[in-house]
A = this chain, B = another copy of it.
């Protein structure tokens, strides 16, 4: 008799953790992802700011499961699923049958319907986007160096970052350091003082979902790095060389980085399943898609209510849900009933520049150097692969000791597949 087949869609924090938790279970597990790597997304901003290489934060998925156990990987993009027939549809037209399905396809950039922004802004949700942003910023430096007048240089050297959450704050800080460490030294034609970095947040503080003191510390730190923080302002529209804000200013800028929001991946809309206002798939207390016994949804794709609100779209709940969903599938395989999920909020952290971070761990708030050390070890701990940890640590040590950004290359892959 064939063993039951579990199909997991997506090898991010949720999907990968779920597959590992099902290793050794009495089932054949097939993990699908459109990329051949697991991405440590919290460090994408370091790729985008020329500090780390893609391979430092990406790990080949097949290498995780090379021990020849019950988990297999296939590089494929799921475009939909027939939940009645029990089949996942792939972009190449084929379909994969399942007995249990775990939907962990994550999230994508949300432009909230701002079409001009969608066309002009640079995202930071995956490796191609982070590399494209790195190339673009370095090209802006080169273009500015060719311009004879300060007026003509300004749009090349003005960078608007939309979104005061961790991604926007971390990227704005890293960009300020890139400017100081690279532009100030490598470009005799330019001065770091010509550069303007503007971080725009619609609410009245940075890190709006965390205690006010953290947002205040982040703002002070960013301003000391030369970043202008504009609160209670939103981006209204943008074109190639101008960004218009809700407070009336039209900023001459050739770069708008969008870190203002994410939404459930497109796969969510392709399923006939109830969704929350944010587009995430509604799940029951056991993390099962409502009305389905054997279909789970976890992470950014899933809308799980706790204490009257959706739990946030970050790595920690995705990994907790992944372990939990794997446990419920194992229970079902063994004829036991599923257990309800409860999210344990362990806090948040974000770096701001070279050796400062803010962290909220339970009731403990950390900032400055202590926060940075905590941030360092937590991130190294969750990074997959010994080589990656080693190389990332070396990269950080290099940056710390040499004040440099070693990966400042403008390079394309030249693909044609």
Which residues in A have some Cβ–Cβ distance to B below 8 Å? 35-37, 53-55, 58, 60, 62-63, 66, 68, 72, 74-76, 127-129, 131-132, 135-136, 138-139, 142, 145-146, 185-189, 387, 391, 394, 398, 402, 404, 406-417
Contacts and interface: CB of A to CB of B under 8 A. Distances in A.
Given A188-B68, A387-B398, A407-B55, A413 B128 contact: yes
B411 A60 contact: no
B409 A129 contact: no
B410 A36 contact: yes
10 contacts: A60-B186, A60-B409, A66-B186, A68-B188, A127-B411, A128-B412, A131-B411, A132-B415, A132-B416, A413-B413
A74 B37 CA distance: 36
Nearest to A184: B66
Given A35-B410, A62-B186, 16 more contacts: A35-B409, A37-B409, A37-B411, A53-B53, A53-B55, A55-B409, A63-B186, A74-B145, A75-B142, A127-B409, A128-B411, A136-B417, A387-B398, A387-B404, A391-B391, A412-B415
Given A55-B407, A63-B186, A409-B36, A129 B414 contact: yes
B411 A142 contact: no
A391 B391 CA distance: 9
B68 A132 contact: no
A132 B415 CA distance: 5
B409 A54 contact: yes
Contacts of A129: 414
B55 A406 contact: yes
A55 B407 CA distance: 6
Contacts of A186: 60, 62-63, 66
* Count of this chain's copies in the oligomeric assembly: 2
Nearest to A142: B75
B68 A139 contact: no
A82 B121 CA distance: 40
Contact of A131 (B74, B136, B404, B413): B413
A187 B407 CA distance: 31
A411 B58 contact: yes
A28 B416 CA distance: 41
A160 to B, nearest CB: 18
8 smallest beta-carbon distances between A and B, as pairs: A128-B414, A62-B186, A131-B413, A132-B414, A75-B142, A55-B407, A412-B413, A53-B53
A415 B135 contact: yes
A364 B132 CA distance: 47
Contact of A188 (B58, B72, B142, B406): B72
A211 B315 CA distance: 59
Contacts of A135: 413, 415, 417
Nearest to A69: B188
A131 B414 CA distance: 7
B36 A138 contact: yes
A407 B60 CA distance: 8
Nearest to A92: B146
A32 B127 CA distance: 29
A407 B75 CA distance: 17
Q: Which of A35, A75, A404 has the most CB of B within 10 A?
A: A75
A139 B416 CA distance: 12
A62 B132 contact: no
Contacts of A142: 36, 74-75
A403 to B, nearest CB: 12
A189 B411 CA distance: 34
Question: Which interface residue of A55, A76, A145, A189 has the most chain B CB atoms within 10 A?
Answer: A55
A226 to B, nearest CB: 21
Contacts of A37: 409-411
Contacts of A412: 128, 131, 413, 415
A60 B408 contact: yes
